[in-house]
C-alpha cells in the first residue's frame, strides 16, 4: 500500500522488497490510498502530491517491479459490504485515529487473486538469503499448523541466543515464535483461514466521557454511525484482541535466513542514507547492536554506512 507520505522513499524500498522476496508471485499489486491525509500522517516529512504518487507508481510498473495499480475503493456501498463481512457491523470511518487506511487494508486483501496474500507496508526493509524464501516456509507452516493465521519473517537481525527484543509476550515453538499480538506492517495470510477468522469486533477510542468508554463496541459503533463521533482503534489491535479470544496465533519465523526492519525515523538523514542501508541489508550485514531489534536504530546505521 502506498500514499503521498511514502513518496520520499518508495522508489527505493518497493523495488528492494520485491527483489528480496524470492517468490514467484501470481501478481504484485500496489494499492494507492488517495484519501485526504489525517491523524499523524499530516505531519510526516516529505509529503508529495497525488500526481507525484501516480508518476512514481507508473514508473514502478514500467520498471517491471509491480504488475498492477489499484486505487482504494471508498465508495459507500463497498465500505458497507466489506465492513459487514470483516467487522459484523458498519462503522463510518475509513481510517483509524492515526490516519492508517483500515478500509484500504481490507480492500487490499479482498481485491487480490490467489489463495495466499503477502502484505508489506511500503517503508519496510527486508533481508533474505539468496536460496531461501520465508514465504514458502510460511505457507508450509500454515498448511501443517492451521492454528497459525499470520506469518512474518524474523523481527530484526538474529541474536546469538535466538531471543527477540519485544514489548509483548511470546512463546518459542518449533521453528517459530508464537504471538497473540498481530503486526500489520508485513505478514502472510491464507485467505480461507483468515475469512474463517472473521468477523473481528470493532474497537473504538478517543471517547472523552468515561461512561461512553464502558459501552459495548456494537453500541459505540451505532453511536458513531448516527453522530459521526469517535475514532477507530488500529486494525492490528482489533486483530490482536480477537487472537487473544481464539486459538489462533501469529507466527514470527525463527529462521535467520530472512529478517525485516522497520524505520521509525524517516527524516532527511535517513532518506539520504537509504540506498546504502538497503545495499548493506541485502548483503546480510548490519551494525552491531541492531540484533534482535525490529525498529531500525538510525544512529547505528549512519555510523556503519557513513
What is the DSSP annotation of 95-136?
BBTT--BHHHHHHHHHT--SSEEEEE-TT-EEEE-TT--HHH
Specify the fold of 4-305. Answer: Spore Coat Polysaccharide Biosynthesis Protein SpsA; Chain A (3.90.550)
Assigned C-alpha cell, 265 = 525515523
Q: Where are the beta strands (DSSP E) in 191-297?
A: 204-205, 231-232, 249-253, 258-263, 295-296
Contacts of 217 (CB under 8 A, 6+ apart): 89, 201, 202, 203, 204
Residue 277's nearest CA partner among 66, 13, 21 is 13
Q: So what's the pLDDT on residue 39? A: 82
Q: So what's the pLDDT on residue 110? A: 97
Q: So what's the pLDDT on residue 189? A: 98
Is 152 strand, coil or helix?
Answer: strand
Residue 228's nearest CA partner among 107, 92, 101, 104 is 92
Q: So what's the pLDDT on residue 194? A: 98
Is 1:111 a contact under the CB 8 Å cutoff? no
CA distance 190 to 112: 12
Q: So what's the pLDDT on residue 306? A: 82
- Other CB atoms within a 10 A radius of the CB of residue 84 amount to 12
What does each of the 306 residues of the chain score in pLDDT, given as a tens digit?
999 999 999 999 999 999 999 999 999 999 999 999 888 788 777 788 999 999 999 999 999 999 999 999 999 999 999 999 999 988 889 999 899 999 999 999 999 999 999 999 999 999 999 999 999 999 999 999 999 999 999 999 999 998 899 889 999 999 999 999 999 999 999 999 999 999 999 988 755 555 455 556 666 666 665 555 668 999 999 999 999 999 999 999 999 999 999 999 989 999 999 999 999 999 999 999 999 999 999 999 999 998
CA distance 99 to 107: 16
Q: So what's the pLDDT on residue 218? A: 66
Q: So what's the pLDDT on residue 222? A: 61
CA distance 27 to 21: 13
First-to-last C-alpha distance (Å) of the chain? 30
Assigned C-alpha cell, 58 = 507508473
CA 67 → CA 25, 38, 77, distances in Å? 10, 29, 27
Q: So what's the pLDDT on residue 88? A: 93
Q: So what's the pLDDT on residue 223? A: 63
Q: So what's the pLDDT on residue 167? A: 84
Is 12:52 a contact under the CB 8 Å cutoff? no
Amino acid at each position: 500500500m502506498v500514499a503521498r507520505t511514502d513518496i520520499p522513499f518508495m522508489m527505493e524500498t518497493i523495488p528492494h522488497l520485491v527483489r528480496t522476496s524470492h517468490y514467484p508471485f501470481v501478481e504484485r499489486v500496489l494499492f494507492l490510498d488517495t484519501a485526504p491525509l489525517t491523524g499523524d500522517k499530516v505531519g510526516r516529512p516529505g509529503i508529495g502530491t497525488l500526481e507525484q504518487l501516480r508518476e512514481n507508481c507508473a514508473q514502478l510498473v514500467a520498471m517491471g517491479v509491480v504488475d498492477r495499480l489499484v486505487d482504494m475503493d471508498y465508495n459507500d456501498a463497498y465500505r458497507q459490504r466489506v465492513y459487514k463481512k470483516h467487522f459484523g457491523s458498519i462503522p463510518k470511518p475509513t481510517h483509524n485515529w492515526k490516519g492508517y487506511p483500515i478500509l484500504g487494508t481490507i480492500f487490499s486483501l479482498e481485491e487480490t487473486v490467489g489463495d495466499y496474500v503477502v502484505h508489506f507496508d511500503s517503508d519496510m526493509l527486508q533481508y533474505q538469503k539468496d536460496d531461501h524464501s520465508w514465504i514458502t516456509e510460511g505457507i508450509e507452516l500454515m498448511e501443517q499448523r492451521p492454528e497459525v493465521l499470520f506469518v512474518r519473517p524474523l523481527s530484526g537481525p538474529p541474536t546469538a541466543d535466538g531471543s527477540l527484543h519485544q514489548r509483548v509476550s511470546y512463546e518459542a515453538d518449533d521453528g517459530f515464535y508464537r504471538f497473540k499480538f498481530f503486526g500489520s506492517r508485513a505478514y502472510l495470510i491464507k485467505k480461507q483461514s483468515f475469512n474463517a477468522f472473521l468477523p473481528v469486533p470493532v474497537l473504538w477510542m478517543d471517547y472523552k466521557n468515561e461512561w461512553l468508554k464502558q459501552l459495548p463496541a456494537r453500541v459505540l459503533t451505532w453511536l458513531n454511525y448516527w453522530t459521526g463521533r469517535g475514532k477507530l482503534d488500529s486494525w492490528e489491535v482489533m486483530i490482536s484482541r480477537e487472537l487473544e479470544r481464539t486459538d489462533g496465533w501469529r507466527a514470527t519465523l525463527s529462521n535467520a535466513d530472512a529478517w525485516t526492519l522497520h524505520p521509525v525515523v524517516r527524516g532527511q538523514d535517513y532518506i539520504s542514507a537509504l540506498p546504502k542501508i538497503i545495499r548493506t541489508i541485502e548483503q546480510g550485514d548490519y551494525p552491531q547492536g541492531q540484533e534482535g531489534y525490529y525498529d531500525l536504530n538510525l544512529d547505528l546505521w549512519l555510523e556503519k554506512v557513513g
